[in-house]
Amino acid sequence: MAKAVLYDNVLCVGCRLCEAACSEKWKLPYTDEIAGTEKTSAQKLTTITTHGEKFSRKLCMHCIDPACASVCPVAAFEKTAAGPVVYHPEKCMGCRYCMMACPFQVPSYEWNERLPLVKKCDMCAERVSFGGITHCSEACPFEATITGERDEVIAIAKKRMEASPGEYHPAIYGMEEVGGTSVLMIGSEPYEKLNMPGNLPKESLPTYTWAALKHVPDVVILGTVLMSGVYWITHRREEVAAAEGGEK
């Protein structure tokens, strides 16, 4: 069975130990300035965001059918049977299609490196694939982040929500969004208020692409994809640059 991570904003106290553990795992610097920057980047692969007296968390959602893997022309992204979506830097050619395709705007780019790569959370694949838990789950003292089999963490999420119905928004984020994700969230408010995209389709994003293309004659597909890709990339690049804080 595939593993999953559950984040619970009701139990989260904003201690940021998950951030520190992630940075230590990736051998990234973690200063007070970095801790205070509430956005993901190539230097910070997960972040706690503040919402009044409540907190939320952003990291790769590890989609069950990931858009980043479907658009990568060199198979630098791979959805593993254990649950994580992993990145193979030795295959990457730097096209950044993954950044444009991700509905959660997660992959980051090393804009300042001479040989830049894409950076993102890999759900501690080296641990999870052998039955372990993520570094962030291990570091959390309040079980606001836990790792387990996907069915198990969904059951835990439902149990928490049933035990304290007045404290939780009645939905588990990631159950159906874009076909489901291996990172799930429960929280005190509608998820749009916790910095998560709303109104996402229930079907996986690659499903939309292939459902459309199978009805188009082969001779037309290449030109259509190329023209659509140019338009999409041009406009999404502006969004990605803005999300990266103008690092480009």
pTM of the model: 0.84
CA distance linking residue 52 with residue 46, whole number of Å? 19
CA-to-CA separations, 19 to 36, 72, 136, 137, 205, in angstroms, rounded: 11, 28, 7, 11, 29
Whether domain 1-248 has CATH 3.30.70.20: the reply is: yes
How does pLDDT run across 18-48, given as a tens digit for each residue?
999 999 999 999 999 999 999 999 999 999 9
**Is 210 a residue whose pLDDT tops 80?**
no
How does pLDDT run across 145-202, given as a tens digit for each residue?
999 999 999 999 999 999 999 999 999 999 999 999 999 999 999 999 999 999 999 9
